[in-house]
Amino acid sequence: MNRIAVFCGAGEGTLSIFKAEAYALGTYLAKHQIQLVYGGAKIGLMGAVADGVLQNKGTVIGVIPTFLLTVEVAHQHLTELIEVPSMHERKRIMHEKSDAIITLPGGFGTLEELFEMLTWSQLGLHQKPIGILNTEGFYDALLLQIAHMVKYGFLKKENAALIVVENTIEALIEKMNAYKKPSTHLHITSQQT
């Protein structure tokens, strides 16, 4: 993994560990010569992960939609800042420029980005590892919901297995490096075609 896209919040959340872990992830990436591709903002967890990379002499590529340049406050010290016309284009570029995806705590936008990458993987559009850094159990409830989706037949087990989950940066990166995409299948049957 030479470049990792990180999806995370433009806010910092209520626990200081969220920002600390985002910065620590950035530091880890820089020290292992892994480039960061992220949403381009200087605020919240986005700013923290970028600062972690930059302050350790790493490379950071930001991708930000024009309409968010002032709302999310674009980071001015990135290696490269790519301005795009839409949120969809942001995700597409981040996906194209990365070898893997990591999701940190965040809100609706972070979840939307995570689930679009998972959907693309499920559909066979990419083979990239998709990780969740589950800081302080932030994603426990979401993982339970995913288990419910499997239980009630809306998600196959092998598709749920597309997500690599760990509580520490080192364990997550190690698992993602060893990742082999499971064979996935759509829910469409021959009777539905």
Q: How confident is the model at residue 186 (pLDDT cuts 50, 70, 90)?
A: low
pLDDT on residue 90: 95
Give counts: helices (H), strands (E), the chain: 7, 7
Question: What is the phi-psi region of residue 159: left when phi exceeds 0, alpha when psi lies from -120 to 50, beta otherwise?
Answer: alpha
pLDDT on residue 192: 44
Q: What is the mean pLDDT of residues 138-158?
A: 97
C-alpha–C-alpha distance, residues 62 and 27, integer Å: 16
Mean pLDDT of the chain: 93
pLDDT at 11 over 50: yes
189 class by beta-carbon count within 10 Å (0-12 exposed, 13-18 middle, 19+ buried): exposed
Instruction: Choose between 17 and 186: higher pLDDT.
Output: 17
Domain 3-192: which topology? Rossmann fold (3.40.50)
pLDDT at 142 over 80: yes
Q: How confident is the model at residue 191 (pLDDT cuts 50, 70, 90)?
A: very low
User: What percent of the chain stands above pLDDT 70?
Assistant: 94
pLDDT on residue 21: 98
Backbone angles phi, psi at 11, to 5 degrees: -105, 175
Tens of pLDDT along 40-88? 999 999 999 999 999 999 999 999 999 988 776 889 999 999 999 999 9
Q: What is the mean pLDDT of residues 144-148?
A: 98
Q: Domain residues of the chain, as ranges?
A: 3-192
Q: What is the mean pLDDT of residues 87-109?
A: 96
100 SS3 class: strand
162 SS3 class: coil
pTM given for the model: 0.93
User: What percent of the chain stands above pLDDT 90?
Assistant: 89
